[in-house]
Chains A and B, each alone.
Chain A
Amino acid sequence: DGGITQSPKYLFRKEGQNVTLSCEQNLNHDAMYWYRQDPGQGLRLIYYSQIVNDFQKGDIAEGYSVSREKKESFPLTVTSAQKNPTAFYLCASMAGRWNEQFFGPGTRLTVL
């Protein structure tokens, strides 16, 4: 059963701690994405990767880092430098430029 998984669904962290959000896909897609969604707002692109071992900053990359060591995996680290990390984080993958994006179920991060 193909799809994208994100874990955990809910995550609580203390201010000043780094936290890593997991994203795995078995769709064999080359491109993967991380978005942030705040209440009443659309999706804002944090980072994206079009191929293994390569990634680019999106519109709001400050305070975040990623890696793409395997095609299936694209973890996102929210660092202590991110000023307002509490949000709903969505991971997506895409087969190619003319295709749709498939989204994971999301991780809701709350920083206390």
Chain B
Amino acid sequence: SQKIEQNSEALNIQEGKTATLTCNYTNYSPAYLQWYRQDPGRGPVFLLLIRENEKEKRKERLKVTFDTTLKQSLFHITASQPADSATYLCALLGATGTASKLTFGTGTRLQVTL
């Protein structure tokens, strides 16, 4: 069956360090992968999209990699700040079919401490 896995345990890191979150998937051939940030009690906010033919994407302090051989995406936040504390969700769009339908992982909570 299709599965998207993110580390369910919270990631605790010190301010200034690089946070790395993982998204693994099985039985998918995704056209692309997206990352979202969700704060408690609020809707997710889009951060980055990376296509299947792209290896890496950057936006300010954010970097996403996409390895379709390993079936994995890594999401990096450099020089992390306490304001980066949130839950981060990855989402996949399947390559087959025409429906614009995303499947979301369960998310990883990031806690950045001083």
Chain A positions within 8 Å of B, measured between CB atoms, are 4, 31, 33, 35, 40-45, 48, 50, 56, 58, 88, 90, 92, 94, 96-98, 100-106, 108
Contacts and interface: CB of A to CB of B under 8 A. Distances in A.
Given A41-B106, A42-B106, A102 B93 contact: no
Interface string B91-106: 1010000111111111
Contacts of B99: 48, 50, 56
A106 B41 contact: yes
Interface string B75-102: 0000000000000010101000011111
Interface string B25-36: 000000110100
Contacts of A94: 100
Contacts, number: 58
A101 B8 contact: no
Interface residues of B, number: 26
B13 interface: no
Contacts of A42: 4, 6, 89, 104-107
Contacts of A104: 43
Contacts of A4: 43
A100 B103 CA distance: 13
B46 A106 contact: no
Contact of A101 (B31, B102, B105): B102
Contact of A106 (B31, B42, B91, B104): B42
Contacts of B102: 45, 101
A45 B102 CA distance: 8
